[in-house]
Chains A and B, each alone.
Chain A
């Protein structure tokens, strides 16, 4: 059995998905510009007022002056179509993209279509034995499954209809009927189609006119005609239409390959020149994107932003995330920081976000050991911290080979799993720590002139810059040193220093050095 998932008035549904606040308004979606713009789809309120697809926008406005008109949003429609296909993929691995607002899916093998087994069944609302979702509603069979598909589509903000039949055509026609879901039992396709008007088969205009001239109005009337006679008069197209009228649809399901990324975006009515209104629109798009990722149990590991600039041009940029996340606030903050750092240089007329998915990290909790951090939450926190402070200011510190005290490197924070039971803490060594000053503070040093050149000794220190971040000034009470440090003499930035530990009159303990090459003094650490 096949199911057809169909979204009526798809351009309008895609627009309302992007701008849900328009749901209560009288809205039409138009194609074309200015006075030549034609209505493609209209809300129920507009249709009741007499507005029909095909009307020009001025004609529609003559009927309803307060009509809200929107252009077709191709980016939004693409995203809505992807969302529709993802809803279908939640129920079947074989899904065909049927074009604007249409998706076909194969239902064979779904747990709800199998006869109930005597063994205890999985709980309703849980997951079936193939990981496929079971509906929260009652019952089994095609009807219950179709209702579950409808609920899932509604969650994806798509007002869909579902038709279930043995062939694609019958399923598509069933999905077009207002009382959704419609299930056509296998083998009863001709009976189901017979009373329906011929227009349901969407015949070509020429053939439709011919059939109308023949006085045929229902599919059943057309199906009763002899096949050979129809083929000789209407040609190959007529023969195919006749076969479909008899419920014969030889087209197989052509499953699609799911794309490796998720995209959401929209074309804007007016170009946006300032950041805040753009972020307002971006927030809604990112929310939809995250909802789609969540439905697939995925998280975003890389976010690509593509901006359509006004009047022409495109701005593309990519944001790599430290770890997969589904946190909208984090993603929005990263987009904001990226745009603030590198403004696009022109007003934005449209945008799209592409999320490259990855599996969110999961961890097993321990009963007796220290609590493990939730990898998903940790990833979100690290991403938020990176957005707040900068990516180079968050990470796991690592020691580096060498002798320069200021050396360090950062790596990604991936803590090992905690031990299964809490370990006793190592005995403290009670070591005095050094606060490393990065960058070192330049000093003005008075030396003991009585000493010989080899036994030079600092007597007084003072920070060279009056606005130095760390005020250092005072006479030296005790000085120990010097210790020589020479490193990297073969490189471009060699270190050739004489180190001293000094205690100043204010009680501060500093690690200072003389750069022998530049003959300058610096403080690079405070013992604390």
Chain B
């Protein structure tokens, strides 16, 4: 049977620096600005209140307790024409109008700068990246997170997603990158892709178009109504056409 030598310092002593009084390099690992080891109790708790970036879509902000959490990944899934892209644009508008630098990783290259500007996005603060494959989108998002963008929106376009699937580990890496930089990562996908990495997965379902005019009268597209739901809560959202 293996037993620890009687003189071996306990891990608590090591963390206090007691057993390493003469080893300055080891002490540097434990304390000061360059500390690399910390107690689990000193780490930020996942349940601790986090600063949030509002999306300015009241229904979603309500679901997410105020907005997109900084240092976390939120995934919004939904089928075509459910208002997913509009919510992403709204989040970008909220972040850039408050002076924050934001990035949009746009897998399909779908952004319309005119519409985005009308929705309130400050285009001078927005970096638009248009990868062609999913792998490129994930790699771009990781680079942007490590650069220090406050909000990175990754839009995976319309189904089927172009390019191959990426492993779950890639999304975990993205979540870690967002956490370490204190950035909000917002993934818009036609179906769930981020696996267990997401802090919250919101699904947009039961979407239907709203038309003005009935019967034989000329019609006008007025907007889309959709139902957003988390695992344990749901709410309705309505998005209007900006005529």
Contacts and interface: CB of A to CB of B under 8 A. Distances in A.
Nearest to B183: A371
Interface string A319-347: 00000000000000000000000000000
A397 B112 CA distance: 9
A370 to B, nearest CB: 4
Interface in B60-92: 79-86, 88-90
A424 B53 CA distance: 11
A527 B117 contact: no
A277 to B, nearest CB: 26
B132 A413 contact: no
Given A396-B124, A435-B108, A425 B94 contact: yes
Interface stretch (B39-47, B142-150, B193-201): B142-150
Interface residues of B, number: 76
A382 B147 CA distance: 10
A362 interface: no
A254 B238 CA distance: 77
Contacts of A508: 80-81
Nearest to B85: A528
Interface string B162-194: 100000000000000000000000000000000
Nearest to B80: A508
A527 B127 contact: no
A399 interface: yes
A464 interface: no
Nearest to B150: A370
B128 A430 contact: no
B131 A389 contact: yes
Contact of B56 (A396, A427, A437): A427
Interface in A431-452: 431-438
A507 B208 contact: yes
Contacts of B220: 480
Interface stretch (A8-16, A224-232, A310-318, A414-422): A414-422
B57 A430 contact: yes
Q: Which of A416, A430, A526 has the most CB of B within 10 A?
A: A430
B151 to A, nearest CB: 10
A381 B139 CA distance: 11
Interface stretch (A121-129, A155-163, A266-274, A372-380): A372-380
A209 interface: no
A370 B117 CA distance: 21
A235 interface: no
Nearest to B130: A393
Nearest to B206: A507
A120 interface: no
A248 interface: no
A396 B101 CA distance: 11
Nearest to B78: A528
A480 B101 contact: no
Contacts, number: 216
Contacts of B114: 399, 405, 407
Interface string B105-139: 00011111111111110011111111110001001
B228 interface: no
A382 B55 CA distance: 26
Contacts of A196: none
Contacts of A397: 111, 113, 116, 123, 126, 128
A93 interface: no
Given A426-B120, A428-B94, A508-B81, A436 B110 contact: yes
A375 B85 CA distance: 29
B109 to A, nearest CB: 6
Contact of B209 (A388, A423, A478): A478
A430 B238 contact: yes
Contacts of B229: none
A429 B143 contact: no
Contact of B115 (A415, A419, A434): A434
B8 interface: no
B127 A528 contact: no
Contact of A430 (B79, B90, B113, B125): B90
Contacts of B86: 430-433, 528
Nearest to A469: B162
Contact of A507 (B79, B95, B97, B158): B79
A359 to B, nearest CB: 20
A83 B187 CA distance: 48
B41 to A, nearest CB: 27
Contacts of B238: 430
B185 to A, nearest CB: 16
Contacts of B125: 415-416
B98 interface: yes
A428 B209 contact: no
B147 A377 contact: yes
B183 to A, nearest CB: 10
B98 A432 contact: no
A428 B98 contact: no
B90 A434 contact: no
A436 B111 contact: yes
Q: Which of A382, A397, A433, A525 has the most CB of B within 10 A?
A: A433
A480 B219 contact: yes
Contacts of B97: 423, 425-426
A429 B223 CA distance: 12
B113 A408 contact: yes
Given A393-B131, A423-B97, A425-B97, A526 B211 contact: no
A419 B242 contact: no
A120 B144 CA distance: 44
A372 B58 CA distance: 28
A425 to B, nearest CB: 4
A429 B148 contact: no
A381 B101 contact: no
Q: Which of B80, B110, B136, B219 has the most CB of A within 10 A?
A: B80
B56 A394 contact: no
Given A389-B129, A389-B131, A478-B209, A528 B81 contact: yes
B17 interface: no
Contacts of A68: none
Top-5 shortest CB links A-B: A428-B56, A435-B110, A425-B94, A480-B219, A433-B86
5 contacts: A393-B129, A425-B94, A428-B90, A431-B86, A436-B110
Given A433-B112, A507-B208, 16 more contacts: A389-B140, A393-B109, A394-B130, A397-B111, A397-B126, A405-B112, A418-B100, A427-B56, A428-B55, A431-B119, A431-B241, A478-B219, A480-B211, A503-B211, A507-B209, A526-B110
